[in-house]
Amino acid sequence: MIGGILVALGILHIIFYRSEVLKKSPSKLIRAGDFWSRYEKIGRVGEGGMGVVYEARDRFLERKVAVKKLRDQIKGDPEERKRFISEARLVARLRHENIVEIYSIVEEGMDLYLVFEFVKGKTLQQILKESGRLDFPAAGRIFHSVCRAVDYAHRQGVVHRDIKPSNIMVGEGNTVKVMDFGVAGQAKSTLVKTQSSVLAGTPVYMAPEADGDQIRRESDIFSLGVCFFEMLTGKLPFEGEGNAFLVHKVQGKRLKISSLGIPGLPTTALDEIFDKALNPDPEKRYHGVGELWAQIVALAPKV
């Protein structure tokens, strides 16, 4: 008799559950195989080498997310698609307070989506454009968080390959998050094969050896050096355009902070740091992010 009662209660529970689900509006129901039925598109945030970026809301978990729909050139080649997904899965395992988290990788037919943590704030690129250079303490605080993120990723075997101010978010409460670890580099590597004019990275921030197929931690350190130089001076370390710029970078001919006349900077010591961080020979650079940061913090222990 007890068994019969339990079965009857189970049937009633199923009937009640189905009726409650059917009462819900269609927007609350997640249909299998329909990406945009789960994610409500709020607006277009921007467009880059990887594809179009949207601000969206996860209807199921009721939280904001960032969605990147990848370009056709990336999703169309089966081998490159497989490589991209494999790398995205590797990056998705990174868990650090200064790294934007990848929530999911979604394939839907030929479309490929990456769903990221949404960070409310501004990119470092926007901050530098609006406010100009930062003073040494402010630059140091942001740069420390970036170094922590990159150092952690390197320890997990992940090289960023496209560190630049537009990939660094400064959110509410001055939280700093680095975006696109490894994934941006893989996406742009794919574009290189389909568009000869596209490099696998952003040239003004790339190490000389990164123009080829080398993937090494020292390339990220070069990019970090360029970012920190720009944060302190409001300028890029290498002048010129096109071939002139590339020649200066390959030959290590850069602006010296001591020549810029910026007050409040330990110019001689900083020039020594940048001489090493921006050396065109990766073997002569800092070999670890911690080593670079230790030299910077030694100049201002309170940073």
Residues recognised as catalytic = 162
**DSSP notation for 167-223:** GEEEEGGG-EEE--TTHHHHHHHHHHHH-TT--SS-GGGS-GGGGTT---HHHHHHH
- Is the separation of the CB atoms in 116 and 91 below 8 Å? no
Spatial CB neighbours of 111, under 8 Å, sequence gap ≥ 6: 35, 69, 70, 75
Which letter does DSSP use for residue 101 in this model? P
Ranges assigned E (strand) in 101-191 = 102-108, 111-117, 121-123, 168-171, 176-178
Determine whether 13 is exposed, middle or buried from the number of CB atoms within 10 Å of its CB (0-12, 13-18, 19+).
exposed
Amino acid at 63: R
Tokens of 126: 């926007």
- Pairwise CA distance, residues 115 & 61, whole Å: 13
Distances (CA, A) of 14 to 6, 18, 20, 28: 12, 6, 10, 19
Q: How many CB atoms lie within 10 A of CB 109?
A: 8
